[in-house]
Structure formats: structure tokens, C-alpha cells
Structure 1
Amino acid sequence: MRPDLRTLLFALGLVWTLPNSLVGLLAGTVGIAFGARARLRRDERALVFHAWPWGPGGAITFGNVILHTGDDLDISCLTYAHRAGHCEEPAIRLGDHERAHVYQYMALGPLFLPLYLLCGGISVRNRFERAADRYALTGRGWWPWA
């Protein structure tokens, strides 16, 4: 893909998912008062709030914002299918998994959250999570209907 077209698509994706990113920015900003740290991660195409103080652990993405309870996205984690006992897969990098969600948000914009919830929310049955795991394993296939 031509660099100028890639830049244009990226800019359109940023604008399209802005309502979702604002939710993440609000939550991340509140988290700063409780110890979270913001860092722009170009490789993840997102603003990441590390040490976000709430939740069961791990990360959640809202548009181009990632809320992460740990210190760095460069950690290994298990795929949803592996954790559910459906198969054995190698560990994936959490940042790669979350980047897939950033791409999904940029493509679907305000439609992402309703579609994500309709597909089962946070579970191995959710095609969005399976696609993010596939992308983290192979570097391809972040689209949930691929």
C-alpha cells in the first residue's frame, strides 16, 4: 500500500473511532490520579495508560487508547483458546493482541462496542478475541470476519 494512502486511512480511522478513544482517555485520565502513567506507543498505534489501577489484570482497548494494569505491553500471555483448553498454542505478546483491537476499532468506529458485545464480550467464543489472538500469533488476520 502506498505510504500516502496508508497515512490517509490511518487518519480516517483515528477520526472514525474518536468517540471510543474519548471513553478510554476519560478512564485513563481518572486512573492517573491513582497512579496510572500515560505513554504514547507508536508501535501499538495507541496512547497506553500503564499501571491502570482497576480490573482483573491485563488490558482493555477503547479506540486508540489502551488501559493496562501492568507496566509494559511487551509481556507474554496465553491466547483465549489456550486458556479455555480448546488447543495448545504458543504464548503471544499482549501488545500485539491489543494492537489488533486498535485496528478493529479504527475499521468499525462506533460500531465496534455493540458488535463486540453481540459476539459474546470477553470470551473465547468472541470472533474479535479470536482474530486478535490470530493476529498476535501470525502478524495477520485482525479482521473478525476473515
Structure 2
Amino acid sequence: MRPAAFALGVLWAAPWSLCGLLAGLAALPFGARPAFSRGERALIFGCCPWGPGGAMTLGNVILCTGRDLDLRCSTYEHRAGRCAHPQVRLGDHERAHVYQYMLLGPLFVPLYFLCGGISVRNRFERAADRYALHGRGWWPWPAS
């Protein structure tokens, strides 16, 4: 059942993965380098030449400004001065977004922006940070 669920998740996230693939392909002439990562469950485009730094996930595609996702970074709450977290691995944070896309599919981006966009207020970002810190908890709504 696990491979079937994974395949369904990839298919459900495919519209956003296609957007990520097109963005990654557009970045190739500017130095981006594609590589598939089993660990992140995504196609990674490293050395993407745009953005302020870090990475952005679109479905099962991750666009990264660095060579890879092994970069250490601060959590959103740490940067906002809300707490003192240790740095997390960027790839772990982005993998949480891959899982979120695989479950929410085309609904992910509208929900993401309804929850506050790229900010510490966004429950998707806090959940991805939690996952990067502890290896669990990528779902943005707590189970009751």
C-alpha cells in the first residue's frame, strides 16, 4: 500500500510539480543543475539563479539557490525572535512541504497563502520547521 499511496500523492501534486519542472527547466541556461533525491522525494534544481536564497517547493520539485539542500538555516520562529531554535537542514524543511503537497495536491498553494504566505504566521511553515527539528509533525493542523 505504501508505494501505491506514494504514487497517488505524486499524481495529486503533479499540477504544481509541472510548474516547478518548468521553472527549473527555465533556470537551466542560467546555471541550475537538476538531480533526483530519493530522500527528499523530489527532483531538485540546485544553483537556481533567482530569489533571496534558500529553496522553494512546488509539488515534487524543489528549486534551490544553493548547490544542494544540506544548508543549515534558521527556523521561521527563530528568525522572528519568538524562540531560540537550533538551525535545521533546509532539505528536511522542504521535504515537509513535499509531503504537504502530496496530501493537499492542487489545494496546497491557495491554502498556503490563506494561512499567511511566506511568514512565521503560516502554519505550513511552522509545521515544516517542526518536521525539520524533530523528524515528525509536517501536517499543519494538530490532530484532536
Does the alignment reach a TM-score above 0.5? yes
Q: Unaligned regions of 5+ residues in structure 2, if any? A: none
Is 1:64 the counterpart of 2:60? The answer is: yes
Distance (whole Å) between structure 2 residues aligned to residue 134 and residue 78 of structure 1: 12
Q: Specify the alignment match of 1:133 in structure 2.
A: 129
Distance (whole Å) between structure 2 residues aligned to residue 54 and residue 15 of structure 1: 27
TM-score normalised by structure 2 residue count: 0.98
Tell me the amino acid that sits aligned with residue 108 of structure 1: L
1:105 to 101, 104, 107: 101
1:14 to 10, 25, 31: 10
Q: Specify the alignment match of 2:139 in structure 1.
A: 143
1:115 to 101, 111, 115: 111
Is 1:81 the counterpart of 2:73? The answer is: no
Q: Percent identity?
A: 70
1:39 shift after superposition: 0.4
Runs of at least 4 residues of structure 1 off by over 3 A?
Answer: none
Distance (whole Å) between structure 1 residues aligned to residue 35 and residue 133 of structure 2: 25
Distance (whole Å) between structure 2 residues aligned to residue 108 and residue 72 of structure 1: 26
Cα RMSD (Å): 0.4
Tell me the amino acid that sits aligned with residue 121 of structure 1: G
* 1:100-134 deviations in Å (ceiling 9; x for gaps): 00000000000000000000000000000000000
Aligned residues: 142
SS at match of 2:141: coil
Tell me the amino acid that sits aligned with residue 67 of structure 2: D
